[in-house]
């Protein structure tokens, strides 16, 4: 996920958005409590979640930053986001979502499209797509490790399987065309008209729409993720 506008963070949220996040936090806590003891906290899954938080999410955000820098914008460098250090990227709520539901987010990388050396819309698409593609590549890397014989024991096997599943979920999740996810930037860049007003309107309710999809229509995420994961597992055989 990335942002091409400054001033993002908790203090920039409206009271409505803060209340929505608080409600979702309580729902997540309930989900966590009721899931304990059901295999939810297996060693393989916990190791995969740790790898997502320490590797996949930092790689995702670094991919955004690296693409922006490659296109001529030094903003991620100045803000310390051109790094694989997890502490520079992790978001508390997004990290908790990774643990509980398998998909979440990190802190958006900020960049300035006015600094890039290519067409504005093309640059937006390239920067936005870099993050989700990095997750798909990490899933493919795990598939290769399985094909080379790793993942045969009781811990590494579930670890690699969960790592593939969560990276694919992140790939699909971030392509949802709801602000502030990467898919919304790609969609707005592809639309043949000025999207400023549309972006502003959707951004006001982005968090609410996002959580509505997660809790009320999870199949919109799970179905394509399951199809992609199935293809990857077949490649691993």
Per residue in 51-75, pLDDT tens? 999 999 999 999 999 999 999 999 9
Q: Is 227 a catalytic residue?
A: no
Per residue in 101-116, pLDDT tens? 766 778 899 999 999 9
- Count of CB atoms situated within 10 Å of the CB of 232: 20
pTM for the structure as a whole: 0.82
| Residues 90, 108: Cα–Cα separation, whole Å | 9
Helix (H), strand (E) counts: the chain: 11, 2
Strands (E) in the chain, as ranges, are 2-3, 109-110
Q: Which pair of structure tokens corresponds to residue 123?
A: 């640059």
Per residue in 133-171, pLDDT tens? 999 999 999 999 999 888 777 778 889 999 999 999 999
Which residues are registered as beta bridge partners of 2?
A: 109
Per residue in 26-47, pLDDT tens? 555 555 545 444 555 678 778 8
Catalytic residue among 24, 61, 146, 182: 61
| Residues 23, 21: Cα–Cα separation, whole Å | 5
Q: Which pair of structure tokens corresponds to residue 79?
A: 């803000």
Mean pLDDT computed over every residue of the chain: 83
């Amino acid at each position: 996920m990335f942002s091409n506008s400054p001033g993002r963070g908790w203090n920039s949220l409206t009271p409505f958005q803060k209340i929505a996040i608080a409600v979702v936090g309580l729902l997540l806590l309930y989900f966590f409590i009721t899931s304990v003891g059901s295999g939810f906290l297996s060693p393989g899954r916990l190791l995969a979640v740790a790898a997502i938080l320490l590797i996949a999410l930092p790689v995702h955000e670094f991919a955004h930053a690296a693409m922006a820098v490659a296109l001529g914008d030094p903003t991620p460098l100045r803000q310390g986001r051109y790094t694989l250090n997890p502490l520079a990227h992790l978001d508390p709520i997004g990290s908790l979502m990774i643990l509980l539901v398998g998909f979440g987010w990190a802190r958006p990388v900020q960049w300035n499209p006015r600094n890039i050396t290519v067409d504005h819309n093309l640059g937006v698409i390239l920067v936005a797509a870099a993050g989700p593609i990095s997750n798909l590549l990490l899933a493919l890397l795990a598939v290769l490790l399985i094909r080379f014989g790793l993942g045969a024991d009781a811990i590494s096997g579930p670890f690699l399987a969960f790592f593939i599943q969560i990276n694919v979920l992140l790939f699909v999740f971030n392509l949802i065309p709801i602000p502030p996810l990467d898919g919304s930037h790609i969609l707005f860049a592809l639309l043949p008209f000025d999207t400023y007003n549309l972006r502003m309107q959707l951004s006001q309710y982005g968090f609410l729409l996002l959580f509505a999809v997660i809790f009320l229509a999870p199949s919109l995420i799970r179905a394509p993720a399951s199809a992609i994961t199935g293809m990857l597992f077949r490649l691993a055989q």
